[in-house]
Structure 1
Amino acid sequence: MTTTVDPPVVSRSTAARRPRAGQRRWYRLISPIVLLVSWEAAARTGILPPEKVPAPSLVAETGWRLAADGELTTHLLDSLTRALIGLGIGGSLAVVLAAAAALLRTGDNAIDPPVQMARMLPHLGLVPLLIIWVGIGEELKISLVALGSFFPLYFNTYAGIRDIDQRLVEAAKTCGLNQWERLRHVVLPGALPSLFLGLRLAIGAGWLSLVVGEQVNAQTGIGFLMMEAREFAQTDVVVLGLVVYALLGLLSDVLIRILERRTLTWRRGLQAT
Structure 2
Amino acid sequence: MTTLTAPARPVSRVEDVRPARRRLAPGAPIRFGGLIGIAALLAVWIIGSATGLIDPRNLSEPWTVVRTAETLIENGRLQESLVTSGIRAALGLGFGVAAGTILALISGLSRFGEALIDGPIQVKRSIPTLALIPLLLLWFGIGEPFKVITIALAVFVPIYIHTHNGLRTIEGKYAELAETLGVPRGEFIRHVVLPGAMPGFLLGMRFAVTSSLLALVVVEVINSTAGIGHMITLASNYGQTDIIVVGLVVYALLGVLADAAVRLIERKALSWRRTLAS
CA displacement, residues 180-219 of structure 1 (integer Å, 9 cap, x when unaligned): 1111111111111110010110110010000000111111
Report the CA distance between 1:93 and its aligned residue: 0.5
Match of 2:73 in 1: 67
Q: TM-score, normalised by structure 1?
A: 0.89
Shift of 1:164: 0.6
**Match for residue 113 of structure 1 among 105, 116, 119:** 119
4+ residue segments displaced more than 4 Å: none
Q: Quote the residue 1:28 is aligned against.
A: 34
Between the aligned residues of both structures, percent identity stands at: 42
Cα distance change, pair 133–57 in 1 and its aligned pair in 2 (3 A): same
Unaligned runs of 5+ in 1: 1-17
Partner of 1:142: 148
- Deviation digits for residues 112-162 of structure 1 (CA, Å, limit 9, x no counterpart): 111111211111011111110000011111011101101111100110100
Deviating more after overlay: 75-84 vs 111-120 = 111-120
Q: What's the CA shift for 1:173?
A: 2.9
Q: Supply the AA of the counterpart residue of 1:48.
A: I
Question: Does the residue aligned with 2:258 lie in a helix, a strand or coil?
Answer: helix
Query: Which one of the candidate residues 190, 215, 231 is aligned to 1:184?
Result: 190
Helix, strand or coil at the partner of 1:52: coil
Aligned residues: 252
CA distance in structure 2 between the aligned counterparts of 1:159 and 1:124, rounded to whole angstroms = 25
- Amino acid aligned to 2:93: L
Are 2:82 and 1:76 equivalent residues in the alignment?
yes
1:159 aligns with 2:174: no
Q: Give the match's secondary structure for 1:53.
A: coil
Instruction: Read off the aligned partner of 1:154 and give its amino acid letter.
Output: Y
Give the deviation of 1:169 after TM superposition: 2.1
Counterparts of 1:1-273 in structure 2, within 5 Å, are 24-271=30-277
Contact 1:229/1:237, CA 8 A, preserved across alignment: yes
One-letter amino acid of the structure 2 residue matched with residue 40 of structure 1:
I
Secondary structure of the residue aligned to 2:32 is: helix
Q: CA deviation at 1:236?
A: 0.8
Q: Tell me whether 116-125 or 203-212 shows the greater mean CA deviation.
A: 116-125
Q: TM-score scaled to structure 2, two decimals? A: 0.87
Secondary structure at the aligned position of 2:31 is classed as helix
User: Shift of residue 76 of structure 1?
Assistant: 0.2
| Separation in 2, partners of 1:255, 1:32 | 20
Q: 1:173 touches 1:182 (CA, 8 Å); kept in 2?
A: no
| Distance across 1 between alignment mates of 2:62 and 2:184 | 59
Supply the distance in 1 between the matched residues of 2:182 and 2:120 (Cα, whole angstroms): 36
Separation in structure 2 between the aligned mates of residue 173 and residue 182 of structure 1, nearest angstrom: 9
SS at match of 1:29: helix
Using the TM superposition, name which of 44-53 and 216-225 deviates more. Answer: 44-53
Following superposition, the deviation at residue 227 of structure 1 comes to 0.3
Distance (Å, rounded) in 1 between the aligned partners of 2:205 and 2:83: 21
Query: Residues of 2 paired with 1:79 and 1:234: CA distance?
Result: 20
- RMSD over aligned CA atoms reads 1.5
Question: Any conservation in 2 of the 1:87–1:146 contact (CA below 8 Å)?
Answer: yes
